[in-house]
Structure 1
Amino acid sequence: MPYVKRDSSGRIVAVSQLRGDCDEAVAPEDADLAAYLNALGHHPGELVATDQDFVRVLEDVVELLIERGIILFTDLPDSAQKKMLHRQRLRSKLSTSLDLLGDD
């Protein structure tokens, strides 16, 4: 939970992850906090917006490394193997459910 310090007019003038000089707790999605960070040139929403695309890129890279024999699927930690298999199953189900043209 971020903490903020406000000036006499109520505008945020400082932000901290720790309580101290900044003693007012605000939600991470607080509008005043977002405005303050945007004014500083920090756009956390932009980073979050790219996460899904970046995950897909990493997934494709791992699959390419496996296809080329650079790494083995079994080299990945068990948790990573399970997550990759789960995503492959989900994508497989999605691609078959979206077969709009059929086999005609």
Structure 2
Amino acid sequence: MYVKRNESGKIEQVSREATPDCKEFIEPNSAELLAFIGSDEAVQQAALRRSDLEFVRVLEDVIELLMSRGAISFTDLPSPAQEKLMARQSLRHRANRVELLSDDSVI
């Protein structure tokens, strides 16, 4: 593998072949290269997980909207989906109750 380094000597770009920017050869299994590749991958995975969690909330809101408009019924959903929705609603209800109890404005 060939790398390009920044002013402080850290890897900032990688190429399988030598390029005008990536001139320095580094062993593919070097700890430095693996750390660089892994850190980028870890950042992407964390962003994907965060996006998944946000999207779950969107889907939950869409399901509630469809049910409130009569487009679907709770019983139309498969049993596992019903159970998961009920569990999330229960958790959210308890979390909201805790937030109300921990309000700093209580006399």
Q: Same fold (TM over 0.5)?
A: yes
SS of the counterpart of 1:71? coil
Tell me the amino acid that sits aligned with residue 38 of structure 2.
A
For 1:14-93, what aligned pairs fall within 5 Å after superposition? 31-34=35-38, 43-93=44-94
Match of 2:96 in 1: 95
Percent identity, aligned pairs only? 39
Q: Following TM superposition, by how much is the alpha carbon of 1:92 offset from its aligned partner in structure 2, in angstroms?
A: 0.7
Cα distance change on mapping 1:49 and 1:36 into 2, 3 Å: closer
CA deviation vs aligned residue, 1:4-49 (integer Å, no higher than 9, x gap): xx9x83226xxxxxxxxxxxxxxxxx735425759xxx93332222
Unaligned runs of 5+ in 1: 1-5, 13-29
**Alignment length, in residue pairs?**
78
SS of the counterpart of 1:98? helix
Q: Following TM superposition, by how much is the alpha carbon of 1:50 offset from its aligned partner in structure 2, in angstroms?
A: 1.0
Q: Give yes or no for the alignment of 1:11 onto 2:15.
A: no
Unaligned runs of 5+ in 2: 1-15, 17-24
Give me the TM-score of the superposition, normalised by structure 1.
0.59
Q: Following TM superposition, by how much is the alpha carbon of 1:54 offset from its aligned partner in structure 2, in angstroms?
A: 0.8
Structure 1 or 2, whichever has the larger Rg, is 2
Pick the structure with more helix per residue.
2
Taking the aligned partners of 1:37 and 1:95, their CA distance within structure 2 comes to 35
